[in-house]
Amino acid sequence: RNVLHWFRSKDLRQEDNRGLHAASQKAKKSKSNLITMYLFTPKDMEWHGTSPARSDFILRNLRILKEQLEQKNIPLAIITAEERGNKTEKVMQFVKENDVSHIYADMEYEVDELRRDIDLGKKVLDESDVSLDVLHDQTVVIPGTLTTGSGGPHKVFTPYHKAWLAETKQNAELLDLVPPPEANDTDVAKQFEKLFSSSIPELPESKQYASKEEQDRLRELWPAGNDAGMKRLDHFLNDKIEDYKAHRSEPAKDATSRMSAYHNSGIVSMRAVLAKTKQFNGGKHFDEGDVGVAAWVREIVFREFYRQLTIITPHTTMNLPQNLKFDFVQWEDDVDGWKKWCEGRTGVPFVDAGMRQINTEAYMHNRLRMNVASYLRANMLIDYRLGERYFAEHLVDWDLNNNTQGWEPSYTIFNPVTQAQKCDPHGDYIRKWVPELAGLKGKEIFAPHERLSKEDFEKLGYPYPHVDYAQSAQRAKQRYKQDLANA
Ligand code: FAD
């Protein structure tokens, strides 16, 4: 009988993959063969609004993975589930057809995915003698395990961060890597002919790029494969991390790693990333050496924390805000404002620059994500879930945990003009993305309608702000206060 590893869209690598390694060990011990599988569900992509860039990134990574595994005589079969609801039946059918005795996979923490695994667990118990092991792999510290003095899981970032640093210092083995899978005997090609010959699907029609030019540009920006991801990390560590703390919030400097897509699809393992970072830090713990290292790892800890929050407040993965009272806010039905926000034509240069970056690169700098989100949900008072969805439909690094936490509604409202003056002091980021304003000097660029004469402003071909900042911020505060009080 055979041992199966089921790849999901969050562990697409053979290097340091806990589930895959456990499957390989099992196969070796039981003198059986290792086979692998990926369940392609186009309707899941529709459901989540997965962007063309991310859909393509997943398929390109699968292609590389399939080639690497085949060099070890390990097949990677691509099975298509036509319906979101028939995934576990498809898996069971595959298990039966291929005489599988053990299934391994890496855990996903969102509600639908947990339910799917529970359903599979029930099916293997009721209908077969197959075993199922789902391992923690996405984070260095297992979500839910860092607890407060009273025993509940941490819900506040600062104490979680402190506990995370202590935990990883005390248990250095949390960063130990596992080896890639061992090769199957060479004679399996015939036995698994059908699996070897299954091909990587084409992008579904609704997930095609708008043009060949866009496809080429985004493929170059986001090269696939573990090697490409680790190379990007090396470049960041060697050339950028030292200045990360000082410049991470200045989008014109491009001082961040751009590793998020590789983290979220599991193209690189978080253990491998942190082990390499520690090595770069001269073996010192993350908060002890380079200040850039400490600041960067703090962001990674946010990623781990958000997975802990997902399991504490699972409703956040089901279109509900963490603070359920925000579900009672009466949002504006501002169709024109929504269109302007999507196109980067709100009349607020910093916001528009961010939106044009996401529309071009399938990525947006974190400082801009915060600003465009605040502008949509507070100044425009448009339902933040539309923005969340827009990010899913455009980002290459979309991740439900990070995205829902980033969009979580709150009373904090960013002033995009003062934010731009602070984080883009020379206006270079705005100039890059909003070429209509490229000729403006000094402070004109941050709020051109205020600083230029009516005549000069209208010559720019750039819109007036869709809403007045001060009035709209006031409106949002009042609306939130009133609707939350009535909730
Ligand atoms: P770096 O600054 O180099 O940070 C290193 C790594 O830490 C990142 O690669 C990422 O894995 C993690 N990280 C950094 N910032 C955060 C953060 N605020 N929360 C959680 N993890 C973080 N991140 C996503 O990965 N996917 C999303 O869909 C996503 N949506 C967001 C939506 C909003 C409204 C906001 C405010 C933030 C969102 N983020 C999201 C978080 C953050 O903006 C990105 O992770 C970051 O910009 C990625 O760029 P980088 O890899 O250069 O980050």
129-145: b (≥16 Cβ within 10 Å) or e:
ebebebbbbbbbbbbbe
Tell whether ligand 1 has an atom less than 6 A from the beta carbon of residue 328: no
Hey, whose CA ends up nearest to atom 28 of ligand 1?
398
Tell whether ligand 1 has an atom less than 6 A from the beta carbon of residue 110: no
For a ligand 1 pocket test, name from 235, 367, 402, 405 the mutation site with the most ligand atoms within 8 angstroms of its C-beta.
402
Burial of 451 per CB tally in 10 Å (0-12, 13-18, 19+): middle
Q: How far does residue 221's CA lie from ligand 1's centre (Å)?
A: 17
- Minimum-distance ligand 1 atom for the alpha carbon of 387: 34
Tell whether ligand 1 has an atom less than 6 A from the beta carbon of residue 469: no
CA distance 260 to 137: 16
Tell whether ligand 1 has an atom less than 6 A from the beta carbon of residue 132: no
Phi and psi for 284 in degrees, rounded to 5? -75, 155
Please enumerate, by residue number, every residue annotated as part of a binding site for FAD: 244, 256-260, 296, 299-306, 397-399
Tell whether ligand 1 has an atom less than 6 A from the beta carbon of residue 387: no
- Strand intervals (E) in 287-441: none
| Structure tokens given for 182 | 């061992």
Q: How far does residue 10's CA lie from ligand 1's centre (Å)?
A: 16
Other CB atoms within a 10 A radius of the CB of residue 167 amount to 15
DSSP state of 147: B
Residue ranges of domains in the chain, CATH in brackets: 1-135 (3.40.50.620), 138-177+214-312 (1.25.40.80), 324-486 (1.10.579.10)
> What's the pLDDT score for residue 180?
98
Tell whether ligand 1 has an atom less than 6 A from the beta carbon of residue 300: yes
Tell whether ligand 1 has an atom less than 6 A from the beta carbon of residue 366: yes
Q: How far, CA to CA in Å, does 63 sit from each of 33, 194, 317, 321, 395?
A: 21, 17, 29, 37, 21
Alpha-helix residue ranges (DSSP H) falling in 128-259: 157-170, 188-191, 193-197, 212-221, 226-239, 244-247
Task: Sort residue 151 into left (φ over 0), alpha (ψ -120 to 50) or beta.
Answer: left
> What's the pLDDT score for residue 85?
87
Tell whether ligand 1 has an atom less than 6 A from the beta carbon of residue 277: no
> What's the pLDDT score for residue 335?
98
- Minimum-distance ligand 1 atom for the alpha carbon of 248: 2
Segment 232-275, tens digit of pLDDT: 999 999 999 999 999 999 999 999 999 999 999 999 999 999 99
Hey, whose CA ends up nearest to atom 13 of ligand 1?
299
Tell whether ligand 1 has an atom less than 6 A from the beta carbon of residue 391: yes
Segment 67-106, tens digit of pLDDT: 999 999 999 999 999 888 899 999 999 999 999 999 999 9
Phi and psi for 479 in degrees, rounded to 5? -60, -45
Tell whether ligand 1 has an atom less than 6 A from the beta carbon of residue 399: yes
For a ligand 1 pocket test, name from 377, 397, 398 the mutation site with the most ligand atoms within 8 angstroms of its C-beta.
397
- So what's the ipTM on this one? 0.99
Hey, whose CA ends up nearest to atom 48 of ligand 1?
260
Tell whether ligand 1 has an atom less than 6 A from the beta carbon of residue 260: yes
- pLDDT < 70: residue spans in the chain: none
106, containing H or E segment: strand 100-106
Q: How far does residue 194's CA lie from ligand 1's centre (Å)?
A: 40
Instruction: Tell me which residue of 384, 383, 430 sits closest to 407, measured CA to CA.
Output: 384
Tell whether ligand 1 has an atom less than 6 A from the beta carbon of residue 264: yes
Tell whether ligand 1 has an atom less than 6 A from the beta carbon of residue 263: yes
Q: What is the pTM of this model?
A: 0.97
For a ligand 1 pocket test, name from 366, 382, 385 the mutation site with the most ligand atoms within 8 angstroms of its C-beta.
366
